[in-house]
């Protein structure tokens, strides 16, 4: 991996923006996309997309990451200065405690940690009860509700994981927060850079949605606004390879994910065949993927009059936590897949994918 790409990954994954609070990531995407596209446009919820325009008769192809990462919203300041929260996105409650976060308020950003019960305090009892995410309090060191409020803390503020992005000792993997889905944001920028001087056979609409982690909310307005003929989500999925690779999906180091099914979307046969042809032609490593979770493609494909949609993905271990591990070669395979997919799409190919002729 080039150092430039690693630094881009590091910058994007260390940015902090949970669902509904994506402004820092949006500003970064705007700055980096502007030199690479003809025009920047937004949807009404805050999704940002760069357009590389072709002729009016050419098809419209949309590539969408999502900017948001899992986090929390502060819902109540307790009398002792601690906070109750609700999760934004899916969290395993057993990875929430004793972690570092940033509390983002109108007056500034403050360090914050999630509470836990020390083992000393569990002695002599029956142990800790079944844990729910909402049982975990958050602590910014304020001594009272009044002191917290004097620093501008209010219900509705966001609390976002804080973590450094690093490489593993062998240089083959990266550890970071928010690879779901700063992976997609990185991929969009890398593809736009690679295609900057290419004449494409379609209008390309590439960027990132908001609020994916709370129910695929951002893709509906963006697809409605831009009316693509084809939709490609670029998103990260959960790896399942730490116990066995037999009968599981999502293995680090085995290539980009070719998602054939998830609870919200079936990849259409002609879309699948196009991806397989691209992978075969360009020797791109890939692995079939069946997911228990969805992506923006799940919402996009039933928007407007129906939009054939799929996912160009990678897997990561321990996603939706402070520390995700992902493989550099998987990312490079996904990048090559997206670039070659976009190069190969023109009116004839798109019509074949949609109509079979």
For the chain, the structural domain boundaries read 3-69+177-355, 71-161
Q: What is the pLDDT of residues 90-142, one digit of tens each?
A: 999 999 999 999 999 999 999 999 998 666 545 555 555 678 898 999 999 99
* Beta pairing, strands 203-209 & 230-233: unpaired
The whole-number pLDDT of residue 120 equals 52
* Catalytic residue positions, numbered: 212
Q: What is the pLDDT of residues 185-197, one digit of tens each?
A: 999 999 999 999 9
Give backbone dihedrals phi and psi of 315, rounded to 5 degrees, phi first: -110, 155
The whole-number pLDDT of residue 1 equals 87
Q: Which H/E stretch holds residue 226?
A: helix 219-226
The whole-number pLDDT of residue 146 equals 98
Fold of the CATH domain 3-69+177-355: Aminopeptidase (3.40.630)
Low pLDDT (below 70) residues in the chain: 117-129
- Please tell me what DSSP assigns to residue 216: S
Residues 6 or more apart whose CB falls under 8 angstroms from that of 280 comprise none
The whole-number pLDDT of residue 121 equals 47
The whole-number pLDDT of residue 20 equals 98
Cα–Cα distance between 49 and 69 in angstroms, integer? 18
Cβ atoms within 10 Å, residue 238: 17
The whole-number pLDDT of residue 126 equals 59
Cα–Cα distance between 97 and 116 in angstroms, integer? 5
Cα–Cα distance between 120 and 166 in angstroms, integer? 33
Beta bridge partners of 254: none
CATH of domain 71-161: 2.40.30.40
């Amino acid at each position: 991996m080039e150092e430039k790409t690693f630094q881009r990954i590091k910058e994007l994954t260390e940015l902090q923006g949970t669902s509904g609070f994506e402004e820092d990531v949006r500003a970064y995407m705007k700055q980096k996309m502007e030199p690479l596209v003809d025009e920047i446009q937004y949807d009404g919820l805050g999704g940002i997309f760069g357009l590389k325009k072709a002729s009016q008769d050419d098809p419209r192809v949309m590539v969408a990451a999502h900017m948001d990462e899992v986090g929390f919203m502060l819902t109540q300041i307790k009398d002792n200065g601690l906070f109750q929260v609700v999760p934004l996105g899916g969290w395993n409650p057993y990875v929430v405690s004793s972690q570092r976060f940033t509390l983002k308020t109108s007056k500034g950003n403050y360090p914050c940690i999630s509470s836990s019960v020390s083992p000393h305090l569990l002695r002599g009892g029956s142990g800790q009860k079944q844990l729910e995410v909402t049982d975990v309090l958050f602590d910014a060191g304020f001594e009272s509700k009044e002191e917290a409020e004097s620093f501008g803390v209010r219900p509705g503020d966001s609390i976002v994981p804080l973590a450094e992005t690093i490489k593993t000792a062998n240089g083959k993997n990266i550890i970071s927060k928010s690879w779901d889905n700063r992976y997609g944001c990185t991929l969009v920028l890398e593809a736009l850079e690679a295609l900057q001087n290419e004449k494409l056979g379609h209008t390309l609409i590439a960027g990132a949605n908001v609020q994916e982690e709370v129910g695929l909310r951002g893709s509906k307005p963006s697809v409605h606004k831009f009316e693509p003929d084809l939709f490609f989500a670029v998103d990260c999925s959960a790896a399942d390879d730490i116990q066995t690779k037999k009968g599981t999906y999502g293995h680090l180091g085995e290539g980009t994910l070719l998602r054939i099914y998830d609870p919200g979307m079936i990849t259409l046969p002609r879309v699948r065949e196009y991806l397989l042809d691209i992978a075969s032609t360009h020797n791109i490593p890939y692995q079939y993927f069946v997911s228990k979770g969805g992506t923006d493609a799940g919402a996009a494909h039933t928007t407007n009059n129906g939009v054939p949609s799929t996912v160009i993905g990678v897997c990561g271990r321990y996603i939706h936590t402070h520390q995700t591990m992902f493989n550099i070669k998987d990312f490079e395979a996904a990048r090559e897949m997206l670039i070659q997919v976009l190069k190969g799409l023109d009116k004839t190919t798109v019509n074949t994918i949609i109509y079979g002729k």
